Structure 1
Amino acid sequence: MAAEEVKLFGNWSSPFVRRIQWALEIKGVQYEIIEEDLSNKSPLLLQYNPVYKKVPVLVHGGKPIAESLIILEYIDETWKENPILPKDPYEKASARFLSSFGDDKCLPSIWQVFISQGEKQAAALTEASENLKILEEKLNGGKFFGGEALGFADISLGWIAQMVSLMEEITNLKMIDEVTYPSLSEWIKNFLISEAIRDSYPDKDRMVSLLRRLREANLASENTT
């Protein structure tokens, strides 16, 4: 029986799309990437994700799955090779918790540091630092959050490894240093050289240009309100 077609509706700059690509690479799944212009979304994307109207959307055998963490679980349950979620119920719950924590707490606080200045940035940095300390404690010197191999939490938190250094370069503000976050710093190194990850970087200049524009737009908006 022929393998069912796998398509991924995404955008080159989205960390949420990239985590789906990482999971598919780890699983060895062949897929087609459908690049979306987020300022002019295609009718197919709106058809496949009418609720949130955003990427990523995975279409497997004609059936769409939306929301990146849900897609990751679907991938792990559908393709059993190289599992990314632990079998142990407690460890599985912990991986899910860390992934949600990354999206709900870490990402907003780090983004706020990036798009702010002055007192607002200082307050955001305090919150971001507290969240990063939690990740540091969870790693506790381990290679990955899931042990010796990349797992669900690592994939979900991978945006930290790829994007924070770019934000630091643009703002001249260090958020993750080896003294304060030795485990997290080592995790970033291990993550970036992993086989499924190392060839997946977006073009750095293009990414820096986009992030710089987003920061400038947010700062301009803040100064006019």
Structure 2
Amino acid sequence: MVIELHDICKSYLQGKEQVPVLHHIDLDVAEGEYLAIMGPSGSGKSTLMNIIGLLDQQTSGSYFFDGRDMTQCSDNQLSDIRNQKIGFVFQNFNLLPRQSVLENVALPLLYAGVRKKDRLVRAREMLERVGLAERVQFRPTQLSGGQKQRVAIARAMVSHPRLLLADEPTGALDTRSGEQIMELFHQLHAEGVTIVMITHEPEIAGHAERVVTIRDGRLENGSFSETEQEGETS
């Protein structure tokens, strides 16, 4: 398993009160799986994504990523795992406006200490893979929304992560651009990339091979494979 969440709870302190957001979450994600986590605003899906992406820590419960207990890792170790093993794709792209497309994609490799020549070669290869080989010297402000998201996906994948974590990846796009991004996700999944996608849109979630739903901080069907679910309902 790439992801193993066991009895995850998360609360935030508001004033003097602990406000629970996630309740006893169990979730397993196998290598090469394409999973969508679907839920409305306020359901806890963004909090869950932040925990999976090691951007936040659970209040209780255990999280194993790639077989390793994340509660036993130092802040520096967690930072290394985020940079090297998890690729992030966000709704609003999070590109640096003053940097070229090529420099944006190469950024994770800079943090990883890869020498300049090698990181630029790898960034060019990834941009070619997402169909933007002719845009390497453009700035993000010169691109359409769909092109910006392709740059963000190239940046997420340039380190060859174990997991691609996408938060509402089509939320800022028109329908046609969103369909193109979903097609790119299908290509990556066909190549063996493990994808976890957060969305509130059923039609977007439908692109995944498995969908789980989060409501009021509680996850449904988190630990069941499609085969097991079919067996239970047959």
**TM-score of the two chains, using structure 2 as the length reference:** 0.26
Between structures 1 and 2, the one with greater helix share: 1
Give the structure with the larger strand fraction. 2
Query: TM-score under structure 1 normalisation?
Result: 0.27
